[in-house]
Structures are given as structure tokens and as C-alpha cells.
Amino acid sequence: MENRQTLLLIARSAFTEALRPSFHAVLLLTGVGLIAVSPVLSSFALGDENRLLVDISLSSMLAVGLFLGGFTAASSLGDEIRRRTVMVLLSKPVPRWVLLSGKFLGIAGAMTLAQLSWVATLLLAIRHRTIHSRFIADEIPVLLFATAGLLLALFFATLQHRRGYSFPAALSPACALLLNLAAWVTLCLSPEGDWVSPLEQVNSNIFAAMLLVHLAVLVLSAIALTASTRLPTPATLAVTVGTLFLGILAGSWGNGETWSRFVPDLQRLWISDGLIRGGDVSLASLGWACVWGLLTILGMLGLGVALFERRDVG
């Protein structure tokens, strides 16, 4: 019971600290911007433009999430180890596995909050559709609600900053709330102007793809947290980026190779290629992919605990 309370306290503290760095706000807005321009980029496609829009957006979510998770993990635990402030907790005493697990839960919460903003932006982009040379009148509500949501979030964060609070910590939840509100309101409006169910305008496979991309980001965040127990920030980012590339290659080029057994096969969580070809995601496949992702996270955290237990932080 005591370890559980300590775990929750560390997780809450790590969540708050993960939202405070300026890079969180920068990468959050970068992700929103990259997804927002996907309707423009997809207009150059020769095939199904709306499917390419989803593919570009999912790739942006994965790429920005990779760096956000890497930087957050490195600053959450790695910097505390190097500054030796982690000794304040370990001298309580707090078991090291509780500290590492709590840090990951806090980081996962911050990453989920950022992903909610990106998911909302993707839903707005899907409702807007690919931009062509002629303007379509039903795009106006999407542009108005999306712009209003983002500006209100920035205005709220600015007010909080003037009151002495952290700008990034105020911006992330405000974006998650207001952009999702804008997305679901516009999805309830059909192109003809009628009120419809929002699920009629978004394929359920897209929700599955967004869930798996978020799970992949959490896997990479767990890897970054594990690496930060021993490595400085640049090396932690290098390990995380390298794992992403090797994890993508492991599914296609690593069959039967010895090295592929030691790298998470992240192709299991990347279904965008199948969506472009018109494939569907079954509930069984989605469930097994989620189980694999969660087990991979637990395995990475177990490795992190083993590395952290032997780390001299005194």
C-alpha cells in the first residue's frame, strides 16, 4: 500500500514536471502544425488523397512523439541522476523500481495529453479533406473552429503565464480540450450542413491506427527512459531514434536475422501502409497488437530497473 501511494505521488510529480519544459510546448505546436498542413501536402498525391492525408499525419505524430518522449524521459530521470537530486527520493527510502515506474506513468500521461491534441488536429484535417484549387464552402466551419480552439488555448496559456504559472503546462491541457471540442463539433456537421453522428465521417480503422501509433510512442518513451538511466541526453535520443529505425526494418528485412530478436518489431504497431491499400483492422488484431505493445513496455521498464539498480547515484 505504501509503495502504491509513493508510485502515484511520483507519477503525479513526473506528469507535472514533464509539461513544464519549453520544448514540450514547441514540439506540441510543431505536431499540430505538421498535421494541419497535411491537407495541402496530400493534394499532390496521384492516388487516394485522403488516405495519404492520414498517412502523413500518422507519420508526423510518430516522429514528433519520438522526440517529445525522448527529451521528456532524458530530462525527467537522466538530468536528476546527473544533478544527484534523485538521492532526495532514494534516501526516503523509495525502491528504485517504484521511482522508475512512477516516472514512466507521469511521462505517459504527458505524452497522452499531447497525443490528444494531435488526434484532434487529425480529425479536423479529415473533416476538412484535401485542399484543391477551388474553395469548398463546408470547409469554413472547420477552419473557424480549429483556429478559434488554438487561439483560445494560446490565450489561456498566456494568461496563466502572466499569473506566474508555466506556459507549456497550461498550453497542453488547453489544446487537448479545445481542439478536441472543435474536432467533435465539426464532425457532427456534415458537408451538407446537417447534424450527423461524428463516427459517420471517420473510418474506425483510423482510430485503431491512432491508438497503435500512440502505443508505439509509449514504447519508444520506455526505451528512452531506460537509456536515460545510464546515458546522457544526446546518447538517449540516439538510442531512441536508432531503435525506431531498426524496429521498422526488423519487420521487413530482419526476418530470421539474429539482430532482429533484440529489437522491438514496431511494424506490428504501424498499420498505415495497410490503410492506404484499403485494408481493415480486426478487433482481434488490434487487441493482440496492444498486448504486444504493453508487454514490450513492461520488458523495457524491467531492463531499466535492472540498469538503474546497479547505477551509482551517490
- Do 240 and 69 contact (CB within 8 A), yes or no? yes
Kindly write down the DSSP assignment for every residue of 136-172, as one continuous string: -GGGHHHHHHHHHHHHHHHHHHHHHHHTTS-HHHHHH
CB neighbour class for 5 (10 Å; exposed up to 12, middle 13-18, buried from 19):
exposed
Annotated domain spans of the chain: 2-309
What are the cell numbers at 37? 498542413
How much is the pLDDT for 113?
95
Band of residue 262 on the pLDDT scale cut at 50, 70, 90: confident
Band of residue 133 on the pLDDT scale cut at 50, 70, 90: very low
Distance in angstroms (rounded) separating the CA atoms of residues 158 and 52: 35
109: nearest Cα among 173, 31, 182: 173
Give SS3 for 25: helix
pLDDT per residue as tens digits for the range 179-228: 999 999 888 877 666 777 777 778 888 899 999 999 999 999 999 999 98
Band of residue 136 on the pLDDT scale cut at 50, 70, 90: low
Give SS3 for 58: helix
How much is the pLDDT for 5?
86
- Do 239 and 224 contact (CB within 8 A), yes or no? yes
Distance in angstroms (rounded) separating the CA atoms of residues 305 and 288: 26
State which of 71-80, 81-90, 131-140, 229-238 shows the largest mean pLDDT: 229-238
pLDDT per residue as tens digits for the range 276-300: 777 788 888 889 999 999 999 999 9
Band of residue 47 on the pLDDT scale cut at 50, 70, 90: low
C-beta atoms surrounding 41 within 10 Å:
17
Over the chain, what is the mean pLDDT? 85
Residue 135 pLDDT more than 60? Answer: no
Give SS3 for 197: coil
Q: For residue 83, how far is the Cα from the chain centroid? A: 27
Residue 46 pLDDT more than 70? Answer: no
Distance in angstroms (rounded) separating the CA atoms of residues 90 and 144: 50
Task: Report which of residues 132 and 284 the model is more confident about.
Answer: 284
Share of the chain above pLDDT 70, in %: 89
How much is the pLDDT for 1?
61
CB neighbour class for 142 (10 Å; exposed up to 12, middle 13-18, buried from 19):
buried
Task: Report which of residues 264 and 65 the model is more confident about.
Answer: 65
Give SS3 for 65: helix
Band of residue 132 on the pLDDT scale cut at 50, 70, 90: low
Distance in angstroms (rounded) separating the CA atoms of residues 124 and 303: 39
Q: For residue 240, how far is the Cα from the chain centroid? A: 14
Residue 256 pLDDT more than 70? Answer: no
